[in-house]
Structure 1
Amino acid sequence: MIINDLIRDLMIEHEKTISDVVNITGCNIERVEDIVLRDLSPTPNEAQLIFEMFGVSLSEVISY
């Protein structure tokens, strides 16, 4: 899924781990693992929190 690919790309680019995402966003670790490792879709709120963590706007996500 494209949104999951973008999240993984951002994590690699910014050298962040799943634990970093959990600690910064407050998202549940199981959900972050599902999103990053199992390609399950994030909720809109989860996606927004994760993208905000990397300073990415929704318009940038749409154009990806």
Structure 2
Amino acid sequence: MTLETIDATDYRTRMQGCAQAFIEQHQAEHLSDDQQLLERTCNHLVHALEVPMFMAPRLAQLAMSQHTR
């Protein structure tokens, strides 16, 4: 794999990891509102990390489903 080639699976895995990290950092702000935390996670992925808008909700949902409180 060259530097110009991006492995889609690796990219999704990394961005899901970023979503999980965001959720861990901000979960205390949304103890009773998972939907708001999910929306903030999507916004973070799109605006801070330039994840495509169509991909961000799925990555955020996967991260939330794997997150333990």
TM-score by length of structure 2 reads 0.36
TM-score by length of structure 1 reads 0.38
